[in-house]
């Protein structure tokens, strides 16, 4: 869906560093920050972040953004709970790992040693 909507390969690669990327608008950066905050445990959305979103989005859009982030978080946790593996739909595509992913930590350790 992302590429069909115009998401570039560079934007996909920049997701883990979206704040510094020129691939995303200010609203997109806020939305990504918000989605990440909603997925933390415990959830902590700073007031300034929510107010920043309010400057760009109406109540319905905020509701849709929140519901979408919450749903994707639910699916990720559900799939993890049942050890659902990738089904090959994105084989050969770029899927950057978040900075806190264990595979990234071991990769950093290997390159440092």
44 has a pLDDT exceeding 60: yes
pLDDT digits (tens, 9 = 90+) for 3-32: 677 888 888 889 889 999 999 999 999 999
Domains in the chain (CATH in brackets) are: 9-84+91-112 (1.20.1290.10)
* pLDDT reported for residue 34: 97
Give, in order, the Cα–Cα distances in Å from 7 to each of 14, 40, 41, 61: 11, 25, 28, 20
Give, in order, the Cα–Cα distances in Å from 86 to each of 18, 37, 46, 52, 89: 24, 25, 33, 35, 8
* pLDDT reported for residue 86: 77
pLDDT digits (tens, 9 = 90+) for 51-97: 999 999 999 999 999 999 999 999 989 998 999 887 777 666 666 66
Provide the token pair at 37: 């905050």
pTM listed for this prediction: 0.76
Asked if the peptide bond before residue 53 counts as cis, ω within 30 degrees of 0, the response is no
The rounded distance, in Å, linking the Cα atoms of 4 and 14 is: 18
């Amino acid at each position: 869906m992302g590429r069909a909507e115009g998401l570039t390969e560079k934007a996909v690669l920049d997701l883990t560093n979206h704040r510094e990327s020129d691939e995303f608008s200010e609203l997109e950066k806020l939305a990504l920050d918000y989605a990440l905050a909603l997925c933390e445990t415990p959830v902590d959305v700073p007031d300034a972040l929510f107010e920043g979103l309010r400057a760009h989005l109406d109540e319905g859009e905020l509701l849709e953004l929140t519901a979408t982030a919450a749903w994707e978080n639910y699916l990720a946790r559900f799939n993890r709970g049942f050890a659902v593996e990738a089904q090959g739909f994105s084989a050969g595509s770029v899927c950057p790992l978040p900075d806190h992913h264990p595979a990234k930590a071991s990769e950093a350790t290997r390159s440092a040693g």
